[in-house]
Structure 1
Amino acid sequence: MNPYVEVIMRSIIAFTSLFVAARILGKQTVSRMTIFDFIAVVTLGSVTANLAFAMEIETRFIFIVFTIFVFLIYLSAFISLKSEKARKLVAGDPTVVIENGKILEHNMKKMRYTLDYLNQQLRQKDIFSIDEVQYALVENNGLLSVKKKEQHLNVTRKDLNIYKSEIKLPVELIMDGEILKDNLTENNISLVWLHEELKLRKLTVGEVVYALLTSSNKLYIDTHDDDLQFPLDVE
């Protein structure tokens, strides 16, 4: 067989084998990664390792394999983007493991997902008792999504009829002794007001390292002279 054809065939077989292996091993094997993230990490890492250490393999063959894997990963992602059926084939669907407070053992067995691992993932969400859970499903990246029962949900401001106006982002006013005039203009902050605030504190712009208008409309100012008797950052 032509060596180039053999390399191409072996690359496709290796890619397919990894895909099947990831499917068989289950979602917890690739936790925090999608199947194709897992394949990309394993294959590209192996190929580049061979490029560095496998002196008996010609460099051009390794580059061909690398290119093929990159192309296959890109092609799979592109097809998944265009086709819902392909997306389900490649990534799969989330798997329900708790429904209406009942553990679905059959679904867990199909993906080799144990009760110990379920409890571990629930504890990571600050849930220490399964009876608090209404629904739980394992996402395509192996992470657990949970909906608590109504009686175990955290109380929100809306539940208590406590409403607060929209919180705005802090605005930087001075940095390293320079007034950030663009920030003042964009946020309708008066330059005169800023100078008056500095005057009230007996400061000049040059003495200020950092000035910030906080979300609660309070002015935070840090100066070059922090007036600390025992500063912790002295070397």
Structure 2
Amino acid sequence: MVIEHVVILIRSISAFVLLLIITRFLGKQTLSNMNFHEFVTAVILGAIAANFAFNEKIQIGHLLISLAVFTFTSYALSKIVIKNRKVRMWTEGTPTILIEGGNILEENLKKNHLTLDTLNQMLRQKDIFDYGEIEYALLEINGKISVMKKKEYQNVTLKDLRKGSKDVGQFPIELVMDGQLLEGNLKVNNIPPEWVTDKLTARGKQLEDVFYAVKGSNGQLYIDFYHDKISHPIDIE
């Protein structure tokens, strides 16, 4: 009886250590903004680790093989989604607009199985109690909500005080991602592709050089290139 307890103790500690190693291997994204495939991986790995700790009928070798397969599958998929936007959209989904111009989009609430009570709670956690303050509210792929307030309800910055700007902000428009034009966004917002390419040409760059480009709420174009010319990037360990 004592031997059995010792075996379970050793297996439990081993399962914990294995999960810790796997989590470190898969990266920080698994801990913070968990998406669909990472959630599935976490559930499966947790179940395997639990069996590894307590189910003596299952051979340890089989459990280790399962852990290795799911770990490397998740790792490979995480690398693929970085390179391929279509795969990323399929596995992770896309943000959903819940509120636009202070108006609730009921159909989008239904599609995401959200009630008004849940939406109100999420908004209160953002210190928002009045729908009239909201320009856009999005449900992110990690299940959290992001809110862009109307211009008159946004916090005043030093730039606002200097310029006294009262322009109505627009929702940021993503134009380029991973070196590819987002033609759907361009078409909906009546932005010709030539406008983007001309902006890049003026900077001596090509579309393939662009990692991400977005037209901000202030109408300014923000471009991030693959090579940022940062010789010593900071990485906080």
- How far is 1:33 from its partner? 2.4
**Alpha-carbon offset, residue 122 of structure 1:** 0.9
TM-score (norm 1): 0.53
Deviations 1:106-140 (A, max 9, x none): 01101101111111111111111112101011111
**Corresponding residue for 2:127?**
126
- 1:33–1:142 Cα contact (<8 Å) kept: no
* Alignment deviations for residues 164-206 of structure 1 (CA, whole Å, 9 cap, x no partner): xxxxxxxxxxxxxxxxxxxxxxxxxxxxxxxxxxxxxxxxxxx
Structure 1 gaps, min length 5: 1-30, 163-235
| Cα distance in 2 for residues equivalent to 1:32 and 1:132 | 27
1:122-166 deviation per Cα after TM superposition (whole angstroms, max 9, x unaligned):
11111111121010111111111111111211222222229xxxx
Distance 1:113 1:72 in 2: 31
The alignment status of 1:57 with 2:52, answered yes or no, reads: no
Secondary structure in 1 matching 2:123: helix
The one-letter code sitting in structure 1 at the alignment partner of 2:142 is N
Residue 37 (structure 1) shift: 2.9
Deviation for aligned residue 1:79:
1.5
What SS class does the counterpart of residue 160 from structure 2 fall into?
A: coil
The answer to whether residue 72 in structure 2 is matched with residue 71 in structure 1 is yes
Percent of aligned positions that are identical: 46
CA RMSD of aligned residues (A): 1.7
Q: Structure 2: how far apart are the matches of 1:49 and 1:149?
A: 49
Structure 2 residue ranges without an equivalent (≥5): 1-31, 164-237
CA distance in 2 between counterparts of 1:106 and 1:59 reads 48
Letter in 1 for 2:68: T
Does residue 1:145 correspond to 2:127, yes or no?
Answer: no
| Corresponding residue for residue 214 of structure 1 | none
What does the per-residue CA deviation read over 1:72-118, in whole Å, with 9 as the maximum and x for residues that have no partner?
21121122112111010011110110112211110110110111111
Retained in 2: the 8 A contact 1:95–1:107?
yes
Report the equivalent of 2:155.
Answer: 154
Q: Is the 8 A contact 1:91 1:140 kept in 2?
A: yes
Asked if structure 2 preserves the Cα contact closer than 8 Å seen for 1:99 and 1:135, the reply is yes
CA contact (8 A) 2:103 2:131 kept: no
Contact 1:32–1:143 (8 Å) recurs in 2 = no
Q: Which amino acid aligns with 1:61?
A: H
Taking structure 2 as the reference length, what is the TM-score of the superposition? 0.53
Asked if structure 2 preserves the Cα contact closer than 8 Å seen for 1:137 and 1:144, the reply is: yes
After TM superposition, give the deviation of residue 35 of structure 1 in Å. 1.6
Quote the Cα distance in structure 1 between the aligned partners of 2:114 and 2:156: 32
* Cα distance, 1:65 vs structure 2: 0.9
Secondary structure at the residue paired with 1:88? Answer: helix
Letter of the structure 2 residue corresponding to residue 147 of structure 1: M
Runs (4+) of structure 1 moved beyond 2 Å?
none
Question: What is the CA–CA distance in structure 1 between the aligned matches of 2:103 and 2:52, rounded to whole Å?
Answer: 51
- The 3-state SS of whatever aligns with 1:141 is coil
**Amino acid in the other structure paired with 2:135:** Q
Structure 1 residue 41: Cα displacement: 2.1
Tell me by how many angstroms 1:32 deviates: 4.7
2:186 maps to none
For residues 44-93 of structure 1, the C-alpha deviation after alignment (integer angstroms, 9 at most, x for no partner) is 11111110101111111111111111122112112211211101001111
Residues 1-235 of structure 1 mapped to structure 2, 5 A cutoff: 32-161=33-162
- How many residues align? The count is 132
